[in-house]
Amino acid sequence: MRVAYLGPAGTFGEEAARRYAPAAELIACPSHAAVAKAVDSGGADLGVMAIENSINGSVAETLDILIHETTLQIQSELLVPIEHSLVAKPGAEIDGVSVIYSHTQALGQCREFLEGHFPSARLEAALSTAQAVELAVAHEGAAAIANARAATLYGAEVLTPAIQDRPNNATRFVIIGGGQPGPSGHDRTSIAFQFDDDRAGLLTDAMTELSSRGINCTKMESRPTRATFGEYIFLVDFEGHAQDRACASALIALRAMTSELKIFGSYPRAAEG
Amino acid sequence: MRVAYLGPAGTFGEEAARRYAPAAELIACPSHAAVAKAVDSGGADLGVMAIENSINGSVAETLDILIHETTLQIQSELLVPIEHSLVAKPGAEIDGVSVIYSHTQALGQCREFLEGHFPSARLEAALSTAQAVELAVAHEGAAAIANARAATLYGAEVLTPAIQDRPNNATRFVIIGGGQPGPSGHDRTSIAFQFDDDRAGLLTDAMTELSSRGINCTKMESRPTRATFGEYIFLVDFEGHAQDRACASALIALRAMTSELKIFGSYPRAAEG
């Protein structure tokens, strides 16, 4: 099996892919859009995309790919704990660190640590935590924020482990593919819909189609349509499988009242969801 | 009047501040959190924060500041069209560009242009579009994506104007301050709330308090509580002022059914909202 992920090796995307399919051949892609394309074109069997972080919230790029760029279905989800480390080239001393590289999300997740321990260090943006390690190894007086595996892969070592500001930092990844998993008894369904007009109450009516059937909505989000400012596509996660009787009935009602309805998939819920 | 914004000079945040208060003294801050702190501490009278982009959606950092870090109220909003240019140091030739710097959001908003015109250029992340121009000027064969004003400020020149993939790219900024504007007859109110439990239908019940009073909800969003994965704070924008009779009544009902309700402000709507 071949599994595409947002590379390079050493990112949390790779960690998610390794956890999900330890024996698979992993294919590093330069963007989440490229992950979806790799699966769409048959270059990979499955794709792994980060969809939500417990601190930063949804990954907009992934939501937009599911909305606009693919008809692949979510097969599964998994939660990966995010542990950031401060890493540098072997022999580097913590007192000598004057510049710190990382992805802006990782810099943000370690802001209090950085302000407390490196108030005068210069922060520099990198395209990924893995690239940050490469930059740190190449520059004198530099360190990076990344996971321990990236340090090993790119010839760095860990100066300080677990530097993220909040201990419960985790990212939810979805596995996308061409299949449609059957009901497991413990599923989540993810959908997106929009309306032709913005009459007061349309969104409430849509939510009522779920709640009146006792279906628990676990997430509610909006994304811009990209056409007109102030027009939104609504994304809803709810408990249950699209083939369950109540869910199937709610989806028929939603299809009738929306101008577009897209089902991203029904898939087994991760334990903590 | 002193207006704090996310600097350095040459960012779209500065452009928003200049449009809102052309005669004000502008104070550049290193983060949106610092903008809010500057106003909270009296170092500035007003603060300007990007809250939503027509392509990328909400600015999570700003939403989290409004939720967790300040009691300042939104005084006003304005929409700023985003025009990205490819810029480089004077005399640079477009054929010689091998590396392109910008903020990751700007790189994302010009992805099709970059793939079409610079398929082999290396893309590098910068902390802001303004810093990207400084980096481009300092490096041979480098260009940056930024606005034309940043090019002027940092000694670069425009190679290609208007390179964003979508012509209707605009960012909505909010102006925060200590005041509470009265009703203008054409207002928007922004609130956030959460529930103690996740019983099916609570969110629907909350939305019904608005729609049953004929109040039009213009935005609906969720952010993680940061406490437990899968628990959310809901953010809702609706038309009307908190002092309008229907809105005041809805807010009383919402306060009774939520575990926390925070009003970010009632303020005049920008024309395009």
ipTM attached to this prediction:
0.76
Share of chain B above pLDDT 90, in %: 75
Q: What residues of A are in contact with residue B232 (Cβ under 8 Å)? A: 219-220
pLDDT per residue as tens digits for the range A43-60 = 999 999 999 988 878 888
Q: Is A120 exposed, middle or buried (0-12, 13-18, 19+ CB in 10 A)?
A: exposed
B17 and B149 belong to one structural domain: no
pLDDT per residue as tens digits for the range A246-259 = 999 999 999 999 99
pLDDT per residue as tens digits for the range B114-137 = 989 999 999 998 988 999 999 999
Q: What is the pTM of this model?
A: 0.83
The reported pLDDT for the residue numbered B273 is 39
A55/B226 touch (CB, cutoff 8 Å), yes or no: yes
CA B154 to chain centroid, in Å, comes to 24
Q: The CATH number of the domain where B192 resides is what?
A: 3.30.70.260
Q: Are strands B57-58 and B46-53 parallel, antiparallel or unpaired?
A: antiparallel
Split into its structural domains, chain B has a count of: 3
B200/A215 touch (CB, cutoff 8 Å), yes or no: yes
* Rounded distance between C-alpha atoms, residue B151 and residue B217, angstroms: 40
* Rounded distance between C-alpha atoms, residue B261 and residue B31, angstroms: 26
Q: What residues of B are in contact with residue A214 (Cβ under 8 Å)? A: 200
A107 and A220 belong to one structural domain: no
Q: Is the pLDDT of residue A265 over 70?
A: yes
A140 and A255 belong to one structural domain: no
B207/A210 touch (CB, cutoff 8 Å), yes or no: no
A112 and A133 belong to one structural domain: yes
In a domain, A182, yes or no: no
Mean pLDDT of A101-128: 90
B25 and B143 belong to one structural domain: no
Under the banding of pLDDT at 50, 70 and 90, the label for residue A273 is very low
A197 and A154 belong to one structural domain: no
Which one of A100, A145, A203 would you mutate to disrupt binding with B, by most B Cβ within 10 Å of its Cβ? Answer: A203
B208/A210 touch (CB, cutoff 8 Å), yes or no: no
B112 and B156 belong to one structural domain: yes
Q: Is B204 a catalytic residue?
A: no
B68 and B95 belong to one structural domain: no
A139 touches chain B (CB under 8 A): no
The amino acid occupying position A170 is A
In a domain, B204, yes or no: yes
Q: Which domain holds residue A211?
A: 187-268
In a domain, B223, yes or no: yes
Retrieve residue A257's tokens: 């009242």
List the single residue in B54, B127, B273 with the smallest CB-CB distance to A123.
B127
The reported pLDDT for the residue numbered A272 is 58
A173 and A146 belong to one structural domain: no
Under the banding of pLDDT at 50, 70 and 90, the label for residue B56 is confident
In a domain, B31, yes or no: yes
A124/B127 touch (CB, cutoff 8 Å), yes or no: yes
- For residues B17 and B200, the model is more confident at B17
Reduced to 3 states, what is the DSSP secondary structure of residue B186? coil
In a domain, B19, yes or no: yes
A95 and A59 belong to one structural domain: no
Q: Is A141 exposed, middle or buried (0-12, 13-18, 19+ CB in 10 A)?
A: middle
* Rounded distance between C-alpha atoms, residue A272 and residue B19, angstroms: 46
Q: Is the pLDDT of residue A168 over 50?
A: yes
The reported pLDDT for the residue numbered B198 is 66
CB A137 within 8 A of CB A89: yes
pLDDT per residue as tens digits for the range B140-190 = 999 999 999 999 999 999 999 999 988 888 999 999 999 999 999 999 999
A244 touches chain B (CB under 8 A): no
Q: Is B70 a catalytic residue?
A: no
List the single residue in B166, B198, B220 with the smallest CB-CB distance to A226.
B166
Under the banding of pLDDT at 50, 70 and 90, the label for residue B204 is confident
The reported pLDDT for the residue numbered A239 is 94
Q: Is the pLDDT of residue A238 over 60?
A: yes
List the single residue in B124, B229, B273 with the smallest CB-CB distance to A230.
B273
Q: Is the pLDDT of residue A66 over 90?
A: yes
In a domain, B134, yes or no: yes
Q: What residues of B are in contact with residue A222 (Cβ under 8 Å)? A: 57, 219-221
- For residues B8 and B245, the model is more confident at B245
Q: The CATH number of the domain where A112 resides is what?
A: 3.40.190.10
The reported pLDDT for the residue numbered B203 is 86
B residues 182..201 contacting A (CB < 8 A): 198-201
In a domain, B66, yes or no: yes
B23 and B119 belong to one structural domain: no
A108 touches chain B (CB under 8 A): yes
Under the banding of pLDDT at 50, 70 and 90, the label for residue A174 is very high
In a domain, B273, yes or no: no
Which one of B229, B233, B244, B272 would you mutate to disrupt binding with A, by most A Cβ within 10 Å of its Cβ? Answer: B229
Last residue of a domain, one of A115, A144, A177: A177
A105 and A68 belong to one structural domain: no
